[in-house]
């Protein structure tokens, strides 16, 4: 399978995550790490169950969560760089 196909599947999973959990998510980096480690644990479970299709699916989840964490770190930096004066102090004021 080509890496284009794999990346497309990761993007599709990101879209599903946004539909399920909403966008953006306001997690700390520690929160993102907890989510990522939970997903890695699901990979470990699939490995122990010796189920290749589940392993692959869980690895797609891991990649999608990592991408989400990066997206939200970038968004956080953008919001810290410029918060309109009328938005100071609201939930988007992460500074």
**Beta-carbon contacts of residue 29 (< 8 Å; ≥ 6 apart):** 69, 73
CATH number of the structural domain spanning residue 32: 1.10.287
In a domain, 12, yes or no: yes
Confidence of residue 28 (pLDDT cuts 50, 70, 90): confident
Confidence of residue 83 (pLDDT cuts 50, 70, 90): low
In a domain, 35, yes or no: yes
Instruction: Output the pLDDT for position 88.
Output: 54
Confidence of residue 74 (pLDDT cuts 50, 70, 90): confident
Instruction: Output the pLDDT for position 76.
Output: 79
The domain of 67 spans 3-83
Contact 69, 36 (CB under 8 A): yes
Contact 24, 72 (CB under 8 A): yes
Instruction: Output the pLDDT for position 94.
Output: 46
In a domain, 52, yes or no: yes
In a domain, 53, yes or no: yes
CA atoms within a 13 Å half-sphere pointing along the CA-CB vector of 57? 8
Number of domains in the chain: 1
In a domain, 93, yes or no: no
């Amino acid at each position: 399978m080509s890496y284009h196909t794999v990346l497309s599947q990761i993007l599709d999973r990101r879209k599903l995550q946004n539909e399920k959990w909403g966008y953006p998510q306001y997690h700390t980096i520690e929160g993102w790490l907890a989510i990522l480690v939970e997903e890695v644990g699901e990979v470990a479970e699939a490995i122990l169950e010796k189920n290749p299709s589940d392993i692959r699916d869980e690895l797609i989840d891991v990649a999608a969560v990592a991408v989400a964490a990066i997206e939200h770190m970038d968004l956080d930096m953008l919001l810290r760089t410029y918060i309109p004066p009328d938005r100071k102090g609201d939930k988007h004021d992460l500074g």
